[in-house]
């Protein structure tokens, strides 16, 4: 029989009348005050319902208990993500109790009873079946008088106290009214004994400055907005600064985020001590008082309690990247209720390589809540001298890559008393990389860690026993095992872990208890006093490895929700708004069997029709295929074709998927936002599976098939198989654009006219908006313009924006850079699945707008330039140039992201950017330019690259002059085009990961370097106006740029024009060398012929003539070889240059070398022919002179 959790008591009706509004549970709609109505309490096998606690009223006597509490009523906080109250489950219900659980029917008090009656009723209500504890949950976190750790209680002292007078009992009970739900603002009953350790959520949140956010949750807009704290390096001065310091660092994935120590204003007298002052050593050996500090776990718990679902999701994702554990079960401070954080973890996707894939070098990529993994849980029973969390850190870290995954006693502020985080269950994952020399476990495993004593957290312990393959129980006193043997363990393996030191356990008792628990010797892991700690960790790892390899109990976190429901644990995504949104997303995604087929059938307007429209619009502007046709007739034909395609689009009925999608977007804001998140999650999962299948097939065909056309088709499928929410918005854009070709009064046009306003509102809510359709290499200009117009109407007159753009080669970390810098969540992929350019709006705080001279910061993220897909499709040059020209032209600040500090690798991207920068001058803009050099680990990178920076500036100037000359522009230096300072315009950022993924945390050097970059973007704006402009001007600029781009054929621009310049230089040089060589050979031939023809003056015989010619041919061969080698040496020297755009023509080197050899062969043939002719003439003359 299970030992029940410590019980709670109800107060008299007088205490309850007009009392606090209790926190709501998921999907409930009634108040907790109905707890005393229609309650026929019975017994059942279910979980017990504990009555709701209220805020304690201190200093009241027993007689005034009811009156005082009624006067001090407070409103309790709501449950997680719920808009209703928690006690619907308590109205008109027959509450049934589990065997071994307390029946509250005996503790029900009568209205109008006096304090003595209250005491009597309370004493009746304290009975428990089969329990050895008579105390409340949180009492265990307050009473430490019998040597228990903080977070445990002394049962014996409370039992003695229960024998005290009824008046005291009444006073304490009336002050300790309980609630059923979670997130209580009160402590339990022992507050008058241990006021210094009082657990009071309300006061704690007030200390952290979060009290107002317990009801009105923190949103992403709150924490991502740009304000003074964004660039403030001041350390925390008080407790209320701690949550914001934590969030600021966490959003930038800084692993130091959990360092929550604050600097108080206490002044030290050491500096003012004079030489003659007598030294005082009294406090030399004092231990610093940690109770004034805040435990990091309390800060994390408080923020999760005070944040909406989207902030929780973002926090969990960033914590996972830092290799922090994330909340699995979030306590509600009364220890009676907790919440399974399923929704919060849905955004976490992990890549790893299990042992089975180590040979193929393949990997597994999964959403972590869907991964069926074994879970191993670690809990504590009673006291334990071994630090459970520190032991876990050593268990999960190898000696080369140690990381403080779990907060423990020896970390900064880790020894501070936990006030609200007892009962928190954290989860992390060990994921192998496929290297036997590095991996600790060859298979993936989830690791859970319960904070606090399982005696106080029965529900959490029961959950872990049902969900885990094994539970490791840390304890010191073997006497506590008797309590463990009375708990249900649901067939999970139990391991006992402890530090017995020199103690000799009672073997008889140990045998009895282990037999009851079904344990063997292998389930006992006790560290002896003299045992090396590393050896103990090794034994612990072996035990965990055996569990992982042999267990068949594997479960996803999504499946754990069923266990949570059985135990009446809340699940964070069970509330109505989230479930409604999920149903709408399910209705759309359930129909997806194949992404390509789905896009063709359900999203037809953005397919081939849109691509044909793009081609026609380009031809309409450029008229490249005009030929001899009349210009006006050609334009008329093109317009007719465009109208026909638009009519074709309008003739198609709205697909079921788009009907459902637009309907869901019309839901209230909270449901709409959850719907889009569900869609993103589902579509990412579908695309991931499809792309994985195609990649496997591509690799198989690439190795075995010689059919290049088949491989090319697979490559095209890989490009087109991506499916995300942006495809649905593209379809909306095409529906809207096509409707503009309908009459003004047409019902279809009227039906769609509100779509731009809907998308503008989504931009305000923080969702990205696609500016450039990367699949069609086009902008639906009418659609984008109308969305921006609606955005302007929504925010006016506060419509001033500052635009920041990032450009770079594919897979160089552009999106990761923006995500880290601004805390946003652009899609991150090692391939080019999502294409185009996306804009995202970040609000500037009201008080900071005058400093930045703008109301919003617009971030534009672009797909990578120079993609492999584009190269294979023969379209990347023109498209890359379009994209670079467009986004640079719209920007106030352009970040050029470079993979390394190697200048040779920069040149291609610099050519693209420079050509774009030069065109920007046509719209009278001069953006600021910043170069970011990624993966530069050297601490002296900046100093070491001084010469490289000078070289970079020289290169920029040279490229500028070359491009300007090609485009017939007057520019002498790079600074004529862009605002660029070589001293402040270069940032060197180390690699992202600190170690070997997937277990590597984010490198703190990366986070700090990105933070410095962020400050450099924002701080100068205080003194310099970079031309922040209105949304209307941004819209106008977009149209001007896109029209200009459509007019010009950029395919033969930027790089091709530079190649022409570079090739002309090479050809000129080569022709000089070649002509000189040819002229030298020709002159030699003339001299040789003269020498042969003058044989008579030299009195040469026939044999002597032949001998002369033979010698001349030999000389010619040597001369030709020397001349050939000289030209080849000149070529080698030319191509070794680092200037003059030589790198653009390195591909021509082989052609020129072949030409040298061919010329040499031709000259050799010419020499032989001319010498032979000269010999023949000489011999004929000799014959006539001597024989005729």
> Which DSSP string corresponds to 426-450?
EEEEE---S-TTT-SSSS-EEEEEE
Whether the Cβ atoms of residue 446 and residue 426 lie closer than 8 Å to each other: no
Query: Which helix (H) or strand (E) segment is 550 a member of?
Result: helix 533-550
- What confidence score (pLDDT) does residue 779 get? 92
- What confidence score (pLDDT) does residue 935 get? 84
Helical segments of 834-975, H only: 846-852, 868-872, 876-890, 903-920, 941-944, 946-966
- What confidence score (pLDDT) does residue 454 get? 92
| Residue 390: partners with Cβ closer than 8 Å, 6 or more residues away | 406, 408, 409, 410
- What confidence score (pLDDT) does residue 259 get? 92
Structure tokens at 246: 């934590």
- What confidence score (pLDDT) does residue 945 get? 66
- What confidence score (pLDDT) does residue 389 get? 95
Spatial separation of the C-alpha atoms in residues 137 and 998, rounded to whole Å? 38
Instruction: List beta partners, residue 842.
Output: 857
- What confidence score (pLDDT) does residue 9 get? 37
Below-50 pLDDT ranges, the chain:
1-199, 266-275, 830-832, 870-874, 1023-1025, 1050-1054, 1097
DSSP, collapsed to helix, strand or coil, labels residue 647 as: helix
Q: Count of alpha carbons within 13 Å of 876, Cβ hemisphere only?
A: 18
- What confidence score (pLDDT) does residue 370 get? 95
HEC per residue, 155-215: HHHHHHHCCCCHHHHHHHHHHCCECCCCCCCCCCCCCCCCHHHCCCHHHHHHHCCCHHHCC
Whether the Cβ atoms of residue 897 and residue 813 lie closer than 8 Å to each other: yes
| Residue 1081: partners with Cβ closer than 8 Å, 6 or more residues away | 1116, 1119, 1120, 1123, 1163, 1166, 1167
Q: Which residue is listed with tokens 């095209």?
A: 716
Q: Which residue is listed with tokens 């039906």?
A: 751
Which of these, 329, 326, 339, 312, lies nearest to 26 by C-alpha position? Answer: 339
Whether the Cβ atoms of residue 426 and residue 449 lie closer than 8 Å to each other: yes
Whether the Cβ atoms of residue 1041 and residue 890 lie closer than 8 Å to each other: yes
228-243 pLDDT per residue, tens: 888 888 888 899 999 9
User: Exposed, middle or buried: residue 958 (CB in 10 Å: 0-12, 13-18, 19+)?
Assistant: middle
HEC per residue, 502-523: CCCCCHHHHHHHHHHHCCCHHH
Structure tokens at 1179: 């011999």
Spatial separation of the C-alpha atoms in residues 1120 and 1082, rounded to whole Å? 11
- What confidence score (pLDDT) does residue 176 get? 37
- What confidence score (pLDDT) does residue 712 get? 75
Which of these, 413, 620, 387, lies nearest to 498 by C-alpha position? Answer: 387
Which of these, 927, 926, 971, 974, lies nearest to 949 by C-alpha position? Answer: 974
> What are the phi and psi torsion angles at 163 (to 5°)?
-85, 0
For the chain, give the number of residues: 1188
Query: Which helix (H) or strand (E) segment is 801 a member of?
Result: strand 800-808
State CA 406 to chain mean position distance: 21
CA triplet 393, 396, 399: central angle to 5 degrees?
A: 85
- What confidence score (pLDDT) does residue 822 get? 92
Whether the Cβ atoms of residue 461 and residue 487 lie closer than 8 Å to each other: yes
Structure tokens at 462: 């029961």
DSSP, collapsed to helix, strand or coil, labels residue 486 as: coil
User: For all residues of the chain together, what is the average pLDDT?
Assistant: 76
Whether the Cβ atoms of residue 305 and residue 154 lie closer than 8 Å to each other: no
Whether the Cβ atoms of residue 767 and residue 700 lie closer than 8 Å to each other: no
Cα separations in angstroms, 1108 against 181, 1111, 1173 = 115, 5, 14
Spatial separation of the C-alpha atoms in residues 660 and 854, rounded to whole Å? 37
């Amino acid at each position: 029989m299970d030992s029940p959790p410590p019980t709670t008591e109800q107060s008299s009706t007088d205490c309850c009348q007009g009392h606090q509004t209790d926190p709501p549970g998921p999907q409930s709609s009634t108040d907790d005050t109905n707890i005393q109505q229609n309650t026929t309490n019975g017994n059942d096998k279910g979980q017990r319902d504990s009555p709701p606690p209220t805020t304690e009223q201190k200093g009241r006597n027993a007689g005034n208990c009811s009156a005082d509490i009624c006067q001090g009523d407070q409103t309790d906080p709501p449950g997680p993500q719920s808009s209703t109250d928690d006690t619907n489950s308590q109205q008109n219900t027959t509450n049934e109790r589990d065997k071994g659980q307390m029946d509250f029917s005996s503790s029900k008090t009568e209205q109008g009873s006096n304090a003595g009656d209250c005491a009597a009723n309370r004493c009746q209500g304290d009975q428990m079946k089969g329990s050895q504890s008579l105390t409340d949950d949180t009492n265990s976190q307050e009473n430490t008088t019998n040597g228990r750790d903080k977070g445990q209680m002394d049962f014996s002292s409370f039992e003695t106290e229960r024998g005290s007078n009824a008046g005291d009992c009444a006073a304490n009970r009336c002050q300790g009214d309980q609630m059923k739900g979670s997130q209580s603002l009160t402590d339990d009953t022992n507050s008058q004994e241990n006021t210094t350790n009082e657990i009071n959520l309300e006061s704690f949140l007030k200390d952290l400055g979060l009290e107002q956010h317990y009801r009105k949750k923190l949103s992403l807009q709150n924490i991502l907005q740009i304000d003074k704290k964004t660039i403030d390096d001041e350390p925390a001065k008080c407790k209320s600064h701690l949550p914001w310091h934590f969030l600021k660092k966490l959003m930038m994935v800084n692993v130091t985020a959990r360092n929550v120590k604050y600097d108080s204003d206490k002044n030290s007298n050491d500096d003012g001590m004079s030489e003659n002052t007598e030294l005082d050593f009294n406090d030399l050996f004092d231990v610093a008082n940690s109770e004034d500090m805040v435990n990091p776990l309390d800060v994390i718990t408080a923020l999760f309690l005070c944040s909406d679902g989207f902030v929780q999701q973002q926090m969990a994702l960033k914590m996972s990247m830092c290799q922090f554990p994330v909340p699995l079960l979030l306590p509600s401070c009364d220890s009676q209720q907790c919440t399974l954080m399923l929704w919060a973890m849905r955004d976490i996707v992990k890549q790893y390589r299990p042992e089975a894939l180590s040979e193929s070098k393949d990997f597994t990529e999964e959403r972590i809540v869907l991964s069926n993994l074994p879970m191993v849980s670690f809990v504590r029973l009673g006291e334990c001298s071994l630090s459970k969390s520190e032991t876990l850190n050593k268990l999960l870290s190898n000696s080369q890559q140690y990381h403080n995954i779990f907060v423990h006693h020896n970390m900064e502020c880790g020894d501070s008393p936990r006030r609200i985080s007892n009962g928190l269950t954290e989860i992390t994952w060990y994921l192998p990389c496929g290297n036997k020399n590095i991996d600790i476990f060859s298979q993936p495993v989830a690791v859970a860690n319960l904070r606090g004593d399982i005696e106080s957290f029965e529900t959490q312990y029961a959950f872990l026993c049902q969900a885990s393959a094994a539970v490791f129980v840390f304890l010191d006193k073997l006497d506590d095992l008797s309590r463990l043997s009375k708990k249900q363990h649901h067939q999970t393996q139990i391991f006992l872990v402890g530090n017995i030191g020199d103690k000799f356990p009672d073997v008889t008792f140990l045998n009895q208890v282990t037999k009851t628990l079904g344990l063997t010797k292998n389930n006992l892991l006790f560290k002896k006093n003299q045992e090396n700690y590393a050896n103990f960790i090794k034994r612990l790892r072996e035990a965990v490895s055996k569990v992982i390899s042999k267990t068949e109990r594997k479960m996803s976190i999504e499946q754990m929700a069923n266990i949570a429901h059985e135990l009446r644990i809340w699940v964070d995504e069970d509330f109505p708004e989230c479930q409604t949104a999920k149903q709408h997303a399910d209705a759309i995604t359930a129909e997806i069997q194949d992404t390509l087929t789905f896009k063709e059938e359900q999203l037809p307007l953005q397919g081939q029709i849109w691509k044909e429209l793009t081609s026609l619009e380009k031809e309409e502007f450029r008229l490249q295929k005009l030929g001899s046709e009349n210009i006006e007739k050609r334009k008329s034909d093109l317009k007719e074709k465009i109208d026909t395609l638009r009519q074709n689009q309008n003739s198609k009925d709205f697909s079921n998927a788009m009907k459902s999608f637009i309907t869901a977007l019309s839901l209230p804001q909270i449901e709409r936002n959850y719907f889009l998140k569900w869609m993103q999650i589902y579509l990412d999962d579908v695309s991931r599976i499809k792309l994985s299948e195609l990649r496997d097939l591509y690799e198989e065909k690439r190795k075995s098939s010689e059919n290049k056309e088949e491989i090319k088709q697979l490559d095209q499928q890989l490009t087109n198989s991506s499916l995300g929410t942006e495809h649905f918005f593209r379809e909306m854009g095409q529906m809207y654009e096509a409707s503009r070709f309908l009459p003004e009064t047409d019902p279809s046009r009227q039906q769609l006219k509100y779509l731009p306003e809907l998308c503008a509102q989504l931009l305000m809510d923080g969702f990205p908006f696609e500016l450039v359709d990367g699949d069609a290499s086009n902008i639906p200009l009418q659609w984008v313009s109308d969305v921006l117009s609606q955005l302007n109407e929504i925010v006016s007159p506060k419509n001033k924006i500052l635009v920041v753009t990032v450009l770079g080669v594919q897979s160089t970390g552009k999106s990761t850079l923006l995500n880290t810098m601004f805390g946003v969540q652009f899609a991150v992929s090692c391939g080019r699945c999502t294409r185009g350019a996306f804009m995202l709006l970040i609000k500037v705080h009201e008080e900071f707008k005058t400093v930045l001279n703008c109301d919003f910061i617009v971030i534009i993220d672009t797909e990578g330039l120079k993609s492999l897909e584009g190269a294979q499709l023969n379209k990347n040059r023109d498209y890359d140039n379009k994209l670079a020209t467009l986004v640079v032209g719209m920007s106030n600040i352009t970040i050029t992201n470079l993979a390394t500090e190697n200048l040779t690798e920069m040149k291609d991207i610099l050519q693209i950017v420079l050509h774009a920068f030069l065109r920007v001058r046509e719209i009278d803009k001069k953006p600021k330019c910043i170069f970011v050099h990624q993966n530069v680990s050297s601490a002296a990178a900046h100093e070491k690259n001084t010469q490289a920076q000078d070289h970079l500036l020289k290169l920029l100037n040279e490229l500028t002059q070359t491009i300007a000359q090609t485009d017939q522009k007057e520019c002498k230096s790079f600074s004529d085009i862009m605002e660029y300072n070589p001293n402040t315009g270069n940032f060197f950022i180390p690699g992202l990961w600190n170690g070997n993924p997937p277990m590597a945390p984010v490198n703190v050097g990366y986070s700090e370097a990105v933070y410095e970059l962020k400050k450099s973007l924002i701080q100068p704006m205080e003194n310099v106006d970079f031309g922040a402009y209105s949304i209307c001007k941004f819209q106008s600029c977009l149209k001007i740029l896109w029209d200009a781009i459509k007019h010009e054929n950029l395919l033969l621009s930027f790089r091709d024009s530079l190649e022409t310049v570079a090739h002309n230089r090479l050809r000129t040089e080569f022709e000089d060398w070649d002509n000189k060589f040819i002229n030298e050979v020709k002159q030699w031939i003339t001299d040789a012929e003269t020498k042969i023809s003058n044989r008579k003056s030299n009195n040469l015989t026939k044999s002597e003539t032949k001998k002369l010619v033979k010698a001349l041919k030999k000389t010619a061969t040597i001369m030709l070889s020397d001349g050939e080698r000289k030209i080849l040496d000149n070529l080698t020297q030319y191509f070794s240059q680092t200037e003059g755009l030589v790198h653009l023509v390195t591909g021509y080197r082989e052609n020129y070398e072949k030409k040298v050899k061919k010329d040499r062969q031709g000259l050799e043939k010419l020499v032989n022919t001319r010498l032979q002719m000269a010999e023949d003439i000489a011999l004929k003359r000799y014959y006539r002179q001597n024989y005729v």
